[in-house]
Amino acid sequence: MTAATARAFPNIALVKYWGKRDEELILPVAGSLSLTLDILPTTTTVSLAPEAEADRFELNGREATGESLRRVAAFLDLVRSLAGSQTPAFVRSRNEAPTGAGLASSASGFAALATAAAAAYGLDLDARGLSRLARRGSGSASRSIVPGVAVWHAGDGDETSFAEAVAAPEMHMVIVTVDAGEKPVSSRVAMRRTALTSPFAEAWPRTTEESLAEMISACEAGDFTRIGRITETHALRMHALIQSADPPIRYLTPRSVAVFDAVAELRERGVEAYATADAGPNVVVLVQSADAEAVAARMEEFGRVQIAKPGPGVELLEGDASPE
Ligand code: ADP
Ligand code: DP6
Ligand code: CO
C-alpha cells in the first residue's frame, strides 16, 4: 500500500495525564482514563512520496510549517525506523475539533496519523501496538485508539505503556466551547514547565494513581456519582497544579469558571452533572444519557454546545476517503 486513510475521535480524560517520566518515549508519570467521543474526528491520509525530498504536512487545507510539521516528521521518522524505510510522505489531515484548544486534537490527530502511517509503511500492528505507537506522537493519542472508556497504563516501559478498554456505565459528554482559539502554551510545553517549577508536582503522580484506582473501581461498580465526583476533583487538581507553575499558566477563563458554577448549581437542583476541562478554556460536562439534552440547553448561554456519546476506536477507511 502506498497510501492509507484513518479516522480517529478525540478523547476527554476523567483522570488526567499531566507529566512525562520519559520525554523521548512519552511515558507518563501516572496512568489516566478517558472517554473517546463520537463527534469531532480527525481524518488523515498518509501517501508515500518516493520523489519528494522531505515530508509534507497539510492540516485543514493549509501547509504546516514550524513545530507542528517538525512533530509530524519526527513521528514519521519513528515509523520509518520500524518499517526499514527511508521514503518521505505527504500527510493530509482534517480536524473537526478546533486545533490546540483543549479539545484533544493531538489525541485524535496522532491516533489517526499512527494508524494511517502504519498501514502506508506496511507495519502490522494490533490495537496494543497502535496504542503504543500513537503514544509516541502525543501521550493522549494512545487512548483514542480505543473505543469508549480507556485506561492508559503508566507501565514500566515502552512495551507496557498502552491503553485498553475498561467496562463503564453509559455516559455522555456535553462539550461547551467557550473559546475555539489556539492555547498560548501547548500541553507539551506546559507539562514540562509544571514538572520543572511547581512545588506541588511531587504530589501529583501518587495522588493521580490513587484517583485512577478509585475511578476504575467506580466504573466497574457502575457508580456514576463516584465517577463524576472523581472527574471534577481531578480536573480542578490538575488546573491548580498548572497554575502553580512559574511563570504560571492559567487555561481556565472567567467563562470556563462560570460553566463550572452552572454545573454545581445544576447539582444543587438534583441534576447529576460534573465538569472537567483539559489544557484549554473549554469545559466538558459529564452526564448520564437521560440528562444530556436538559444540561446542554442550560449551557447554551456560555458558547457552542454539542452532545457526545461514547465513540468508536480508530478505523482505517476503505477506498478514496481522503479529506478534501
Ligand atoms: P490539544 O488540546 O488540541 O490536544 P495540544 O497542545 O496537545 O492541544 O496539541 C496541539 C498540537 O497537536 C498542534 O499544534 C499540532 O502540532 C498537533 N496536531 C493537532 N492536530 C493534528 C493532526 N490532525 N495531525 C498531526 N498533528 C496534529
Ligand atoms: C490536559 O497528550 O496533548 O489533555 O503527550 O505532550 O502531546 P503530549 O500532551 P497531550 O496532553 C494531554 C493533557 C490533558 C489531559 C489528558 O488528556 O489526559
Ligand atoms: Co493534546
Q: How far apart are CA 259 and CA 265, in angstroms?
A: 10
Beta bridge partners of 89: 48
Atom of ligand 1 nearest to the CA of 104: 4
Q: ∠ at Cα 239 (14, 232), nearest 5°?
A: 35
Residues 6+ apart with CB under 8 A from 10: 36, 37, 40, 41, 42, 97, 103, 104, 105, 107, 108, 144
Q: Does the predicted model carry a pTM greater than 0.90?
A: yes
Nearest CA to ligand 1 atom 23: 109
What spacing in Å lies between the alpha carbon of 34 and ligand 3's midpoint?
Answer: 13
Residues pairing with 27 in the sheet: 22
Q: 10-residue block means of pLDDT along the chain (324 residues)? A: 94 98 98 98 98 98 97 98 98 98 98 98 98 98 98 98 98 98 97 98 98 98 98 98 98 98 98 98 98 98 98 87 54
**Which atom of ligand 2 is closest in space to residue 16's alpha carbon?**
18
Task: For residue 51, report the distance from its CA to the centre of ligand 3, in Å.
Answer: 32
Q: Is the CB of 106 under 6 A from ligand 2?
A: yes
- Antiparallel, parallel or unpaired: β 89-95 and 56-59: parallel
Q: How far is the CA of 229 from the centre of ligand 2 (A)?
A: 21
Q: For residue 31, give the C-alpha cell.
A: 496512568
Q: Which atom of ligand 2 is nearest to the CA of 138?
A: 7
Note whether 88 and 99 are within 8 A (CB). no
115 C-beta neighbours (distance < 10 Å), count? 31
DSSP output for 130-171: HHHHHHHH-TTHHHHTSSSEEEE---SSGGG--EEE------
Ligand 2 lined by 13 (C-beta under 6 Å): yes
- ipTM of this model? 0.99
- Mutate which of 140, 193, 239 for ligand 2? The one with the most ligand atoms within 8 Å of its CB, which is 140
Give residue 134's pLDDT.
99
Q: What's the confidence (pLDDT) of residue 318?
A: 72
Ligand 1 lining (C-beta closer than 6 Å): 42, 44, 59, 68, 71-72, 93, 95, 99-107, 109, 113, 138, 186-187, 278-280
Ligand closest to the CA atom of residue 93: 1
Q: Is the CB of 80 under 6 A from ligand 2?
A: no
| pLDDT for 125 | 98
